[in-house]
A and B are shown apart, each in its own frame.
Chain A
Amino acid sequence: MTRALVNVPKTAKRGEIIEIRAMIQHVMETGYREGPNGVTLPRNIIKRFVCKYGAEEIFSAELFPAIAANPYMAFSTVATESGTLTFEWTDDKGATQSASAEITVT
């Protein structure tokens, strides 16, 4: 299991724009590097990231090998209601890793 860290404010006022940060442990092997034995290391990257607020997708990204190892992303959303934000990363092989955070909107 790899580690993911997400940062969402615990509370916000309705209509407030909040910043969200998400980071996950991943080599993001480009497929262009050679290993110590001279053989090209096979590509292994996270290629998709999705953030949902409740059931609705509010942000997503398609990643390429030019995204740094241990991908970090910051974006924003409007605080609409109390609930759960879920985060999902998908790699080249289709394996997913997820994380979530609660927010209370007043």
Chain B
Amino acid sequence: MTRLVLLGLLACASIGVAAEIPPQDRRSGFEFMSPQTQAMQSEETSNPGMLWVADGERLWSEPQAPAGKSCASCHAEATKSMGGVAARYPAFDEETKRPIDLMGRINQCRAKRQGAASLTYQSDELLALTAYVANQSHGMPITPPADSRLEPFRENGRAWFERRLGQLQLSCAACHDDRWGARLGGSVIPQGHPTGYPLYRLEWQNMGSLQRRLRGCLVGVRAQPFDFGAPEYVDIELFLMERARGLTMETPAVRP
């Protein structure tokens, strides 16, 4: 199979040390897509991700048993209260004393403050709520907070990013720092920025989380992916957000 051969070639060639992408060269995955796929994302009326955003808007004000509270009961209008929130996540969680991603935070509110059952990372409801909340940051620059408590976790994320993984012994950096713009099989290797999540991926024919995307890359190098909700994903996201500092939030993005 051609993709195996290609990955093999890449593995052989990846002996050098990865160099970080200078800020002026940082580019969203959007820039590497065909004009057709770009148009699908840019036009709200044709972006399939907007179906989830619309669903999230409905769920935002839907009361949950047993407390009878909706997100809106406490946060009022998301257009006001949630602007810019996604652009600075993951954030430090006082309760667990570690970083929490946006999906985790929303789930926490559901369980603790609404008294409702928590949702899985792949559920339409959590994808919809997260897409709706993140859409309130659409067009805003990614601005990770200056919170020193996050540092050790971000460093752990960086370590994962630079570590050789899986049977192919490829690091994330080998593809996303060293070979972005090159072709791998049918697709162009993007820089791997988390600007548009949750997003609609044509390959999935569905909406999906960043964790699902990362699982795909881990499986791609023949590594055992972490389970959904694993702390490693949040640490990697922390590092990816710092690496994407200044890029624009695009949720809901569309990717091939």
Contact = CB atoms under 8 A, between A and B. Distances in A.
Please determine if A and B sit in direct contact within the complex, based on CB atoms under 8 angstroms apart: yes
Interface of A: 3-5, 7, 21, 23-25, 27-28, 68-70, 72, 74
B45 A23 contact: yes
A35 to B, nearest CB: 14
A70 B45 contact: no
A32 B35 CA distance: 30
Name the residue in B46, B51, B52, B55 with the highest tally of chain A Cβ atoms < 10 Å from its Cβ. B51
A24 to B, nearest CB: 8
B205 A5 contact: no
B51 A21 contact: no
Nearest to A69: B205
B122 interface: no
A34 to B, nearest CB: 15
B123 interface: no
A25 B124 CA distance: 11
A16 to B, nearest CB: 18
B206 interface: yes
Given A3-B54, A70-B51, A21 B46 contact: yes
Given A23-B50, A72-B46, 20 more contacts: A3-B52, A3-B55, A4-B51, A5-B50, A5-B54, A7-B45, A21-B45, A21-B46, A24-B51, A25-B51, A25-B55, A27-B205, A28-B205, A69-B48, A69-B205, A69-B206, A70-B48, A70-B205, A72-B48, A74-B46
A26 B212 CA distance: 20
17 contacts: A3-B52, A3-B58, A4-B51, A5-B45, A5-B51, A5-B54, A23-B45, A23-B51, A24-B51, A25-B52, A25-B55, A28-B205, A68-B205, A69-B205, A70-B48, A70-B205, A72-B46
A49 to B, nearest CB: 16
Nearest to B55: A3
Interface string B42-81: 0001101011101100100000000000000000000000
Contacts of A23: 45-46, 48, 50-51
A5 B44 CA distance: 10
B201 to A, nearest CB: 11
Contacts of A7: 45
A4 B52 CA distance: 10
A4 B55 CA distance: 9
A5 B53 CA distance: 11
A25 B205 CA distance: 11
Name the residue in A5, A7, A24, A68 with the highest tally of chain B Cβ atoms < 10 Å from its Cβ. A5
Contacts of A72: 46, 48
Contacts of B55: 3, 25
Contacts of A70: 48, 51, 205
B32 to A, nearest CB: 21
A7 B47 CA distance: 12
Contacts of A5: 45, 50-51, 54
B51 A3 contact: yes
Contacts of B46: 21, 23, 72, 74
Contacts of A25: 51-52, 55
A7 B51 CA distance: 12
B59 to A, nearest CB: 11
